[in-house]
Chain A
Amino acid sequence: MNFHLILFLAFGAVCVGGAINLLVQRHPINSALSLIAVMAALAGEYLLLGAEFVAAVQVIVYAGAIMVLFVFVIMLLNAGEEEHTGGSRIAMLLGVPGMLTGSVLTAWVVLRHSGTQSVPIGALPGSPRDIAQLLFHDFLLPFEVTSVLILIAIMGAVVLASKPEASAGEGER
């Protein structure tokens, strides 16, 4: 029972609890907040593995920007609690046991055949300098392509979410 294991279990418990809470909650805002908790705990797990820059970016980008987008949309569209329809009951009956079986099977296989591979705490220190060296030398093309991808996403979002033109009102006459 070493320090690494204690911290891993603490952050892991928050991750697991948040993920299950996301499934159980009926109102999307509660699911969104549980997802934020999962992301924050995952940032802690990344820190345990030494990826400090990735942990900071996870908090800034994922928990601090993408989830803000989700919360905005939930607030603007006034999403209410969801009801249980016939289809969703069947899905729950088949889906939850199926998911449980799948994950238990995978976990059993992984734990059985893992050998003695272990990672120490802070295994691979990912300082911004080292990551920048790799990102701007070996991975420069994917980096530039992702910038184009973001530009396309911005344009697409603006076009898709803009109000329809006044010609829609003319059709009513």
Chain B
Amino acid sequence: MTPSYVPLSYYLVLSGFLFACGVAGFIIKRNIISIFMSIELMLNGVNLSFVAFAAHWHTLAGQIFVFFVMVVAASEATVGLAIIIAVYRTRETLNVDQVNLLKL
């Protein structure tokens, strides 16, 4: 079968849109966990652009870098969620607007 082609820019536009949604979520959300999830969305958008460019330039290093991004995202999610739990224990709230003092 002859291969079917999709322009590379389509993948980049999708990746950019996911990144933009992540940024928007980071700005407009007030729940700490939702902000954190927007960060994960940004990382996913970047992963897609890595894989798309790897396919374009025919180098597997792009796909390898996705692994490192995933590992960093996993560690960051672990530590971040632990911090969120610690903050919740002391402040009793998950609303970012109410966590604005260094000392209770």
Query: A residues engaging B (CB < 8 A)?
Result: 2-5, 8, 12, 15-16, 19-20, 22-23, 28, 31-32, 35, 38-39, 42, 45-46, 48-51, 53-54, 57-58, 61-62, 65-66, 69-70, 73-74, 76-77, 79, 82-85, 87-88, 91-92, 94-96, 99-100, 102-103, 106-107, 110-111, 114, 116-124, 126, 130-131, 134-135, 138-139, 142, 146, 149-150, 152-154, 156-158, 160-161, 164
Q: Is the CB of A22 within 8 A of B25?
A: yes
Q: By the criterion of a CB under 8 Å from any partner CB, how many residues of chain B are at the interface?
A: 71
Q: Is the CB of A45 within 8 A of B48?
A: yes
Q: Is the CB of B34 within 8 A of A92?
A: no
User: What residues of chain A lie closer than 8 Å to B56, measured between beta carbons?
Assistant: 117, 119, 123
User: What residues of chain B lie closer than 8 Å to A39, measured between beta carbons?
Assistant: 44
The one of A73, A107, A161 that contacts B17, using a Cβ cutoff of 8 Å: A107
Assuming A120-B3, A126-B63, is B44 touching A95 (CB within 8 A)? no
Q: Is the CB of A77 within 8 A of B31?
A: no
Interface of A is mostly: helix
User: What residues of chain B lie closer than 8 Å to A23, measured between beta carbons?
Assistant: 21, 24-25, 28-29
